Amino acid sequence: HDRHDWWRGATLYQIYPRSFLDANGDGIGDLKGITEKLDHVASLGVDAIWLSPFFTSPMDDFGYDVADYCDVDPMFGTLDDFRALIERAHALGLRVIIDQVLSHSSDQHEWFQESRRDRTNPKADWYVWADPRPDGTPPNNWMAAFSGRAWTFDARRRQYYLHNFLPSQPDLNFHHPEVREAHLDNLRFWLELGVDGFRFDVVNYFFHDPALTDNPPMPRERVQPGNPQSYQFQRHNIEQPENLAYLERIRALLDEYPGATSVGEIAGNDQLPTMAAYTAGDSRLHMAYTFDLLDSTGDAGALHEVLARFRELGDDTWPCWALSNHDVVRSATSWGEARALLALTVLCSLRGSLCLYQGEELGLPEAELAYEDLQDPFGINLWPEVKGRDGCRTPMAWDDSVNGGFCAEGVAPWLPVYARHRPLAVAHQEAAPDSLLNRVRRLLRLRGDSEVLRRGEQTLIDPADLPGDVFAVLRHDGDQRLLCLAHLGRQGATMARVRLDALVPGASGWSSLALPGMAAPQLEGRELDLAPGQA
């Protein structure tokens, strides 16, 4: 198909650089390590890699606090290492998407260092500064995601600055035209270097309400205990209308580089409408993802509800669905370890592009960590109420050696290698033809080679027409129709009999497709029997 459109229906494989492979023996993954293991990624049959941040950073939020947008942190290597990575990826047929954390920088960025110096320097308004209230308290009630208020007092300027995340992640002021231009220059730098696109961190957080209006409280039933931002509806700190025009500027830049793409991360209170608005009409982002499926647990009704809500928002949109990433509990745990393949099978049935997270192809469960091992400030600040994100960030499991092949023996990895991951390591699964890894490879190729799965239309099947626990979508492309069904019943669930005529009126000539690693469902005339766990 049209190469510029390669991203539509594509599968992106997310690499968390700190935890992929340590090539230089300091216990932290790096760019050379990634390049070394790109063959593994290519063997999965994915289309692209998405690299979490590897830019200069004090690593307070492990790279999501950027101190230089146009350089590689020495911990990860050099710009030349990155050039070599791109070259190897392209030689293997993999596109390279890199993370861009535009909404905020590190407080160590020279922009912020200058901005905080006084109230009149050239970058004085590049960040969001505001006077205290007469009693000295912060200008409004906005809360930060990783605990506490979204405002920190700076003694030199005698003003507060805004940060939606850590105090060391000050929010850039996108109302300032120079900020918008500076970021476009940063993007151009990487496009010129040969990247194939960007993953935009919290892409709906760029602009804030300059009137600094208080956020309204969240309806009590929607509060997530322990998550400070969920106590209020984030109406004014994020999600401002000005964002759309800026995304159009970004798109215009990307369109200068044929084939360049973008995927936005949508966080906040009500993510599906934003995902629809940001990807509609091919003029803003190419793709976007929300936490709706990332937070899913493999319940048929809940899955249908998310897709149905998104469907209502128009067919002119392009989602990117994911079950796992570096912020959430791994899908093998949230869906259940016995259902790791089933989870990916359901994912592969959906209209949209997909993100897979390193280790998901192995069925790695979430790691259980002791408090002493925690590194993520979110998990540390809010412990024990919030689990934090270290459990999904432990090193990738390559082999059965002490450090799972992630780093040399005798080196301490930055997060422990989880003991239960070692038996699931690549080397083991590689050797077993029917391992999850090999079944996932076949599954991803099935998806990749199927035009109807990659780009076909999608009709959701109403749960009322299905036996309980069965999830189904109909994919179609011209006269080709593929009905995708999965029995998501858990322990104690029974065989489900599906009457196909009722679901796709007028269809005939049914045949059932054997999915990699699963027995083909029993088809008798126009009735199909699905066992729990079967798809």
The one catalytic residue in 201, 209, 361, 390 is 201
Cβ proximity to ligand TEU: between 322 and 364 the closer is 322
Known active-site residue 201: yes
Select the binding partner of residue 335 from Ca ion, ligand TEU, none (C-beta < 5 to 8 A, by kind): none
Taking the C-alpha atoms of residue 51 and residue 97, their distance in angstroms, rounded to an integer, is 6
Query: Shortest distance, CB of residue 28 to Ca ion, whole angstroms?
Result: 4
Query: Shortest distance, CB of residue 24 to Ca ion, whole angstroms?
Result: 4
Work out which of 34, 38, 267, 369 binds ligand TEU, going by CB under 6 A: 267
Burial 270-295 (b: 16+ CB within 10 A, else e): ebbebbbbbbbeeebbbbbbbbbbbe
Beta partners for 458?
Answer: 475
Known active-site residue 430: no
Q: Which two tokens stand for residue 411?
A: 């080196």
Select the binding partner of residue 26 from Ca ion, ligand TEU, none (C-beta < 5 to 8 A, by kind): Ca ion
Select the binding partner of residue 30 from ligand TEU, Ca ion, none (C-beta < 5 to 8 A, by kind): Ca ion
Cβ proximity to ligand TEU: between 267 and 500 the closer is 267
User: In residues, how long is the chain?
Assistant: 535
H or E element, residue 235: none
In contact, 408 and 25? CB cutoff 8 Å: yes
Query: Shortest distance, CB of residue 301 to Ca ion, whole angstroms?
Result: 45
Task: Work out the burial of residue 30: count CB atoms within 10 Å of its CB; fewer than 13 is exposed, 13-18 middle, 19 or more buried.
Answer: buried
Query: Shortest distance, CB of residue 412 to Ca ion, whole angstroms?
Result: 12
Cβ proximity to ligand TEU: between 86 and 267 the closer is 267
Taking the C-alpha atoms of residue 22 and residue 31, their distance in angstroms, rounded to an integer, is 9
Q: Does 162 bind ligand TEU (CB under 6 A)?
A: no
Select the binding partner of residue 28 from Ca ion, ligand TEU, none (C-beta < 5 to 8 A, by kind): Ca ion
Binding-site ranges for Ca ion (CB under 5 A): 22, 24, 26, 28, 30
Please list, in sequence order, all residues whose beta carbon lies within 8 angstroms of the beta carbon of residue 103, skipping any fewer than 6 positions away: 164, 171, 172, 201, 202, 203, 205, 206
Work out which of 36, 154, 242, 327 binds ligand TEU, going by CB under 6 A: 327
Q: How many degrees, rounded to 5, is the angle at CA 255 between CA 253 and CA 258? A: 130
Select the binding partner of residue 165 from ligand TEU, Ca ion, none (C-beta < 5 to 8 A, by kind): ligand TEU
Q: Which of 269, 202, 205, 266 is nearest to 232 (CA)?
A: 269
Closest-by-Cβ residue to ligand TEU is 267
Q: Does 174 bind ligand TEU (CB under 6 A)?
A: no
Please list, in sequence order, all residues whose beta carbon lies within 8 angstroms of the beta carbon of residue 116, skipping any fewer than 6 positions away: 107, 127, 154, 156, 157, 161
Q: Does 202 bind ligand TEU (CB under 6 A)?
A: yes
Select the binding partner of residue 425 from ligand TEU, Ca ion, none (C-beta < 5 to 8 A, by kind): none
Helix axes 177-193, 242-255, angle to 10 degrees: 30
Backbone angles phi, psi at 459, to 5 degrees: -115, 130
Query: Shortest distance, CB of residue 99 to ligand TEU, whole angstroms?
Result: 8
Write the interaction track for ligand TEU spanning residues 55-94; mark x where CB under 6 A is met and - where it is not.
------x--x------------------------------
Select the binding partner of residue 254 from Ca ion, ligand TEU, none (C-beta < 5 to 8 A, by kind): none
Q: Which of 222, 286, 276 is nearest to 253 (CA)?
A: 286
Q: Does 323 bind ligand TEU (CB under 6 A)?
A: no
DSSP 264-283: EE--SS-HHHHHHHHHGGGS
Q: Does 101 bind ligand TEU (CB under 6 A)?
A: yes
- Catalogue the active-site residues: 201, 256
Q: Interface with ligand TEU by CB under 6 A: which residues?
A: 61, 64, 101, 145, 165, 201-202, 265, 267, 326-327, 378, 389
